[in-house]
Every structure is written in C-alpha cells, then in structure tokens.
Structure 1
C-alpha cells in the first residue's frame, strides 16, 4: 500500500508594520547659585637641607622638631577657626605626609649650584562652609595663621539631587515642547511614547569668580563672587505617530 502526502503551502503571516515615530532630543542648562563651599589649605614644616649625595638622612631630632612645630601650628589654627564660629565637624584636618623637598644650594667650584634635599612634613586642612558669608573672614584667618598653601575654594550645592531632578524635568519639558511644535507644523498626531532615554547624566560645572575691592581705598577688601553652578541635562524621547 502506497501512502502519499500532499504538501500544504503555508501562507506567510501578515507582519505588522512598525508605527511611524518622531524622535526628539532636548538639552537644558540650569543655573543655580551655590549654597556651600569647600576651602582647602596646607601647612608644612621642613628639616634643614643637606647634600643630595650625602648618605646622612634627616636626624630623628630634626624630624621630631619639625613635626612638633607642625602639630602646634595646626592645633592653633583649628582653635582659631572654632573661635570664628566654624563647627568642629566642618573642619577636617588631614593626616601627616612626609616627602623629600629638593632645593638649590650654593655654587660649587665648577660654578654649578649644588642640589640639596630636605624633608617636608605636610598636613592638609579642609573647611566645609554652609554659610558663604563667612568665607572672607575664614580666608583672613587662614592668612593670619600663615598657611603655607591656600589651594582654593570650590563651590557646590547642599542638595545636588534636587537640582539634578529639576534640570532633568526641564529637559523633558523641552523635549515635549519641541515634539508638539514639530507635530503641529507637520500636521501629524503624536501617539504614545515609545522610548525615553537620559542621554547625559546631569553634570555640574561649578564656576568661581573673585574680584578685588576698590584699589583707591587704603585697606584692600576682596569680594568673592561664586557665580553660578551650571547643571546640564539631556534626554531623547521617541513618540509614535498615530494613524488618523
């Protein structure tokens, strides 16, 4: 007995065409006045210089004396800052670092300056200010205390998340406004949102400005202008184009 099978041709399934879409990118820069600042400075002490090719290192006595001077200055500076009203938790006194410091010595018989080395002991200090009005007074206190390096002031926001969310929301609003305008001009109807992507995480770009006071006055008074912190946010949104 012979069994034959008839081949059944299958019709291809109708594929649903993807809807038309409108793709919009939008960016917004939010400018916010800073409400906090971080001030960084350093204190250091050095041992007497010695010849580089000398096998003798800084004596323990010289190192101990330099560290005693450094710790005394740091303690006095911290007490001065607290007397100025700065809270204890706003003062961060960093740990001690020790490193060689090379300097030029006297000229030798060949007419070349000798290279000398001394040991430098350094401690950083960082101040966090919640009240920017106190900045000039604290800078004066650091100057009077004789800090060896004033590394500058950086401005920031106490609540970065709230500012980032606001910048992102404004970028989304900008994307919606652009999409609405394009739909009106193209005589199309927007459907549902197909895709939304944050193409740039909100980034902070602090700006700092400093302006000296009137030079005609006998006492120079500096005005510190922090400027504005710029927060950039960017999104890309895809809308379906509805069939009329």
Structure 2
C-alpha cells in the first residue's frame, strides 16, 4: 500500500512539473516590438577649417624653413580676423624626400624635399569663412584640406530626434495593434539603437588654395554651410491588450 501511494505521489509531481511552466507562460502578457526613426535638421554654428602648407626645396632644411615661414604667415592671416589664439594651431611637420626615376640611369634619383604642415582654425562665426580662405592663401597656405561644420550644442537636437523616433515607434505599434484587433498597452522596454549625424561639405572642400581663394571672393555661397541632419533610432516593446 505504501508503495502504491508513493507511485501516485510521483505521478502527481510529474504532472505538476509539466503543467507549471505552461501555466506560467500563459500568464505572460502579449507584447509587440517596434522600431522608430526620427530626424531633425539644424543650422551649423561652428566650423573647423584645415589648411595645408606645402613647400618644396633642394635640401630638407630649406624646405623646413620655407614651410615654417609660410605657416606662420598663414597663422597671422587667421589672427587678423580676430580668431582667438586658443582656436588656432599648427599640426606637426612632415618632411619627405622626393624621388624621380631616371630612365637613362635606370634608378631613382633624389630631386629634393617636401615639407607639409596643417594650419587649423576653429570658427564660431561662419560669416568670416570666405574672407578667411581668401586671406590665408595670401599668407602662405596653398591647399584647403577640409571644412568640418559642427554644432556647439548638440544635446537639444539629439533629444528632439530621439523624441521623434519614440513617437514614430508608438505610432507604428498602435497601427499594427489596431490592424490585428488589439490595443497598445504600457511600455515594457525602450532601447536606443543609434544616433547619426550627416555633416554638410562645401563644394570648395579639398582644392588648391588658388582656386579656393577665387571661389571665396567670386562665389561666397560655395562655403554655405547648409544643414546638419541628426537622426535617431529607438526600439520599444509594448504590451498588447486583446480584451
């Protein structure tokens, strides 16, 4: 008799273990996971300008000396536009030998040296950008290496993009739920996926300074900043109500 009771207890225990997880699973509320994207555009109010100073000479020392003089003159041209000293700098100097292949002697021959340095200016007044380019070319720089438009305060634009993304996710979730005869419930989880920025590039970027100077004088809109687009993506998990 005791053996039979023990067998019956084991049977009920096994049934309870099999039914328990299924019952718990039925208690889990239905959910829907959706993603949303939001984009916001803003006018840049800051620019980082990089000028290249390239000099060539027969000796390394002569190339270095000429480069130092030209770079310093270019820095003075930036100062003339009242750019603060802490907003300008010179990058490290690169000195490279220049070779040319001699077909008659069937070998490379040293033709001289090239010195390269970047002058960087950070501008908080974009209206001075065209005269800056036009002036720096007269000060020794001979290449425009790039203009990076930026926002001094990115937090507000980023937050606006996130709000748009969250509202887009909610709208998508509500549409899907109502289509399937359900209602959107409370939020279970929110995940920020990424925030991207698309920076405008001027048409005059990466050109010889003589051409850049002509563009700055004759066509200032070549340096028009345009707009910076900030986009955000979020993933939201909502409960579903089917009653």
Figure out how many residues of one structure are paired with residues of the other and give that number. Answer: 219
Matching residue of 1:155: 149
Matching residue of 1:241: 240
Matching residue of 1:228: 227
After superposition, the C-alpha distances for 1:21-60 in whole angstroms (9 at most, x for unaligned) are 1222111222221111111111122232xxxxxxxxxxxx
Pick one of 9, 33, 36 that aligns with 1:26.
36
2:188 equivalent to 1:191? no
Q: State how far apart, in whole Å, the 1-side matches of 2:24 and 2:108 are.
A: 85
Distance 1:144 1:103, change over 3 A: farther
Matching residue of 2:24: 15
Is the Cα contact below 8 Å between 1:41 and 1:125 reproduced in 2? yes
Mapping of residues 116-135 of structure 1, within 5 Å: 116-135=110-129
Q: State how far apart, in whole Å, the 1-side matches of 2:48 and 2:95 are.
A: 24
RMSD: 2.6
Mapping of residues 1-244 of structure 1, within 5 Å: 4=3, 6-7=6-7, 8=9, 9-10=12-13, 11-12=15-16, 13=20, 14-17=23-26, 18-48=28-58, 62-103=59-100, 108=104, 116-199=110-193, 201-210=194-203, 220-223=218-221, 224-244=223-243
Is the Cα contact below 8 Å between 2:60 and 2:112 reproduced in 1? no
TM-score, normalised relative to structure 2: 0.78
Alpha-carbon offset, residue 243 of structure 1: 4.8
Is the Cα contact below 8 Å between 2:97 and 2:110 reproduced in 1? no
Q: State how far apart, in whole Å, the 2-side matches of 1:165 and 1:80 are.
A: 39
**Unmatched tracts of structure 1, length 5 or more:** 49-61, 212-218
Q: State how far apart, in whole Å, the 2-side matches of 1:102 and 1:41 are.
A: 25
Distance 1:102 1:161, change over 3 A: farther
Alpha-carbon offset, residue 98 of structure 1: 1.3
Q: State how far apart, in whole Å, the 2-side matches of 1:143 and 1:85 are.
A: 17
**Unmatched tracts of structure 2, length 5 or more:** 205-216
- Aligned to 1:158, what secondary structure does the other structure show? coil
After superposition, the C-alpha distances for 1:195-228 in whole angstroms (9 at most, x for unaligned) are 22222x11111122448xxxxxxx7243222211
Distance 1:28 1:87, change over 3 A: same
Q: State how far apart, in whole Å, the 1-side matches of 2:57 and 2:139 are.
A: 20
Is the Cα contact below 8 Å between 2:35 and 2:235 reproduced in 1? yes
TM-score, normalised relative to structure 1: 0.78
Alpha-carbon offset, residue 127 of structure 1: 1.0
Q: State how far apart, in whole Å, the 1-side matches of 2:43 and 2:6 are.
A: 80
